[in-house]
Structure 1
Amino acid sequence: MVKKLFCHHKWVFFCLIVLCLGLVACAPSQPVKGRLIVWHTWDEAEAPVIEQVLADFRRLHPEIQISVERKEYATVLDEFAEASRAGLGPDVLIGLESVYAHLLYQNGLAANVNKMDIDWTVFEPGTLQSVQRGNDVRVGVPLNAYVSVLYFNRSQIDTPPDSFDALQAISEKGIKVGLPATFFASYWGITGLGGSVFDGDALSANSQAGIANWLDWLVAFQQTPGAVLSSDTRALVDSFVRGDIALLVMDSLELASLEERLGREQFGVATLPGFPHAQAFSTVELIVVNSASVQTEAAAQLSNFLSNAAQQRKLARTTSGRAPVNRAVSLNPTLFPRISAISQQNRTAVVPTTVQDGLINRLIVEADPIYQQVLEGLITPDAGAQMIIDAVKNDRGGPSQ
């Protein structure tokens, strides 16, 4: 009897232990507490949008205090570096292009967010290329992106051209078409005509042929009555606003300015001629965490909030020219034609890797003046393309083939 009683008590004791463990395991996790100093770089016109989203986060997470300050993009890198080194920097910086985030990380000022509790599954693998640095480092969390698109004046163009032939036919009629004649801004033409420049992180074997083919097309297009080719992007935008140009290829961040200067009904936005083969470069803006911040859990929670489908959809609908980066977000082209076109173009865009960024910078330095020489008739497209590739290959930091 004593033995049975002992066994009974032992069984009850065991059950109590299991029950307690179960209760501990099932207990809700404690909310993250913290205080975040947040800087963002959105301009005055769009600052209320991101600040409202941050206010929504604050309302849903009252245990995390947030102070928000807008900074000018042109000076934010220097301000961030100076403040961070003095121990006064923000915990989070919103709206920094990926290339500058890599620069901050390189200088020990941006945290490796790969170690934080971020939901990376919401992003396309291509988008993540912009933040990846080696196998186990990510310098920020993608927030949105912008990309080159086609703007058209509705009073002059009913249906935007969807091919290179259609674009040339419009220019043949004397309708003005503005194209930026620089490597980065016109990269879509190389891919749209079937060319390639990159093979992984190096120049492709066909890079010279791809550039030559595009330069040859530009030279021929320049002979049409409506062609306006220029490396001065501001002049092209101003001409479009005045109505001197009916079609303009320019990056999607110009949308807010164009809407303010022209009005929403005056112009439309379309994918580039040759889409989806015409692939422009995509510039990804990030959420960057200060390497000195101790508020990493709160920063991760904010990053996950800003990148979830609901907030990405809200940002896309209420901002001008920024494409969502959450792979689950799609927008009705009837209700949101502008951002839908931008989002479509961005989904097929080229997102440079960290190594490609360096290669692109060298291509810009070498190619832009040569593009002008070709268009001025000083050298042939074939000679210009060879000069560009030879110069990049001979650069000490350049890739070898």
Structure 2
Amino acid sequence: MLLAVLLMACHQVSVEQPSNQPGQLEGKLLIWHPFQGDVATIFLDGLKKFQQLNPSIALISEYVPQNEISSRLSAQAKNSLGASLMIDFARRQMPEMITAGHIQPINEGTFDLSVYFAPTLTQVRYQGQIYGVPLGSQIDVLCYNQAKIKQASSSAQSLSQPPTRLERLIERAQKGYSVGLVSTFEDTFWGMGIFHAQFFDSQGFIEPQLEGWAQWLEWLRQANTQPNFILTRSRDILHKAFAQGKLTYYVCNSSEIGDLKNDLKDHLRVAPLPAELDRRATPILYTQVMILNRSASPDETHLALKLAKFMTNPEQQLQGIVQSQSFIPTNQNVKIDEDLLPIEKVLLEQAKTSVAIPLDELERIMSVFEQGDLLYHQVLEGDLTSSEAARQLSEIVNQQIEQKEK
């Protein structure tokens, strides 16, 4: 293990030392990406523009399903093969690929990371080194069907606007406006911050304060008894119902907005998740990152990083926003006009209250999430009290902390 770490440390990336002529980009680059449909078109347009600016390069892109990228890299990297640049979520398999020596770190001294939204950098920083360039993020927000709430009478003008507080969401359901929430521990994580529950401190270290989770569980349990309030584990069911106009409100993921826009047209609206006064919702921030194959040559690495910098410059990120209508930029210098891009402005504002799970803690926290999901459903089924579930989960998290310290 120590040898692998030392070898990786010696193989840090330098952007400033290509073997090409100064100022000239040349060579080929194989890229694996998971994009399909309109998102793939947007991504490939970005590659095409980069090639137009650099006619001496050849970019070869290959679609690889999201759940196959890490396994394919692991299989091919043993023979120094695979794409030089890959796009994947910062997720559970990433630390495994780093430890196995399949991903090379990026030298912070030669690649400017200051332009990136700080929480996304915690999702690519592992044991003090950076292992990817944040490309774009996804987050949960409140989607609603404007056509359905327009039916509110003038005597109930408050119903014509999306709810800003949790209690108002319950009231909407009681008034006949259907509400859909995906009901898992991870998908309801957004409500924890409203009740002062947290998993991480300001430095990104696990520091559980889960008493508030018990209150959030009680709120969900009560909501589940209300008419027109639908909690289900299936996002597909809720997505389809909302797209068909059967739901008024739906806590959606921003990745769904493109498809929902195609179905609901201008009736689709997006609002921040309901909160309570100064206590904001804290949805999980999911970030797709561009990672480098450790087997890539110095020239391929240089070219890959030039492409990564291009794809995350403000102009390209804004282009992605305009075309996708659901893209959360990672470059914090991107400015969004609320009048021109109202949905995207909401996404960006919601991202500011999000929780980015640090890559250093990802393996342990996902194990905790699995246990949390079991406790979550025991509470909703009436087999466990909310306070006992919070106590047990706190114990599980503390055990994880103790194991790390040994």
Deviation at 1:240, TM superposition (A): 1.7
Tell me the equivalent position of 1:23. Answer: none
Answer with 121-130 or 269-278: which moved more.
269-278
Deviation at 1:228, TM superposition (A): 1.0
Q: Is contact 1:181-1:230 (8 Å) kept?
A: yes
Tell me the equivalent position of 1:321. Answer: 326
Matches within 5 A, 1:314-353: 314-353=319-358
Deviation at 1:75, TM superposition (A): 1.9
Deviation at 1:91, TM superposition (A): 1.0
Deviation at 1:108, TM superposition (A): 1.1
Matches within 5 A, 1:251-400: 251-260=253-262, 262-274=263-275, 277-294=280-297, 295-394=300-399
Deviation at 1:114, TM superposition (A): 2.6
Deviation at 1:399, TM superposition (A): 6.0
Aligned equivalents of 2:352, 2:400: Cα separation in 1? 32
Answer with 277-286 or 186-195: which moved more.
186-195
Tell me the equivalent position of 1:5. Answer: none
Aligned equivalents of 1:118, 1:105: Cα separation in 2? 19
With the length of structure 1 as denominator, give the TM-score of the two structures.
0.86
Aligned equivalents of 2:341, 2:64: Cα separation in 1? 29
Aligned equivalents of 1:98, 1:138: Cα separation in 2? 15
Deviation at 1:101, TM superposition (A): 3.4
CA-atom RMSD, angstroms?
2.2
Q: Is contact 2:89-2:286 (8 Å) kept?
A: no
Tell me which of 53, 58, 80 is aligned to 1:65: 58
Q: Is contact 1:179-1:248 (8 Å) kept?
A: yes
Q: Is contact 2:90-2:123 (8 Å) kept?
A: no
Q: Deviations over 1:178-237 (max 9, x none)?
A: 112222111110102332232345543522x02111111112222322221122222222
With the length of structure 2 as denominator, give the TM-score of the two structures.
0.85
Tell me the equivalent position of 1:230. Answer: 232
Aligned equivalents of 2:366, 2:335: Cα separation in 1? 32
Tell me the equivalent position of 1:3. Answer: none
Matched, 1:182 2:187: no
Aligned equivalents of 1:159, 1:114: Cα separation in 2? 48
| Matched position secondary structure for 1:45 | helix
Deviation at 1:365, TM superposition (A): 1.1
Instruction: State the AA in 2 paired with 1:204.
Output: E
Deviation at 1:32, TM superposition (A): 3.4
Tell me the equivalent position of 1:40. Answer: 33
Tell me the equivalent position of 2:6. Answer: none
Change (3 A) 1:205 1:312: closer
| Matched position secondary structure for 1:111 | coil
Deviation at 1:177, TM superposition (A): 0.9
Tell me which of 69, 84, 87 is aligned to 2:80: 87
Instruction: State the AA in 1 paired with 2:284.
Output: F
Aligned pairs, number: 370
Aligned equivalents of 1:228, 1:364: Cα separation in 2? 22
Matches within 5 A, 1:111-122: 111-114=104-107, 117-122=110-115
Deviation at 1:270, TM superposition (A): 1.4
Deviation at 1:129, TM superposition (A): 0.6
Q: Is contact 2:122-2:358 (8 Å) kept?
A: yes
Deviation at 1:319, TM superposition (A): 1.9
Q: Is contact 2:92-2:366 (8 Å) kept?
A: no
| Matched position secondary structure for 1:120 | coil
Tell me which of 150, 154, 165 is aligned to 2:146: 154
Aligned equivalents of 1:178, 1:30: Cα separation in 2? 53
Q: Is contact 1:38-1:68 (8 Å) kept?
A: yes
Deviation at 1:98, TM superposition (A): 4.7
Matched, 1:139 2:139: no
Deviation at 1:397, TM superposition (A): 7.5
Gaps of 5+ in 2: 1-20, 150-159
Q: Deviations over 1:273-316 (max 9, x none)?
A: 11871111101110111101011111111111111111111112
Q: Deviations over 1:96-142 (max 9, x none)?
A: 4354433322221111123683221111222211111122x111000
Instruction: State the AA in 2 paired with 1:105.
Output: I
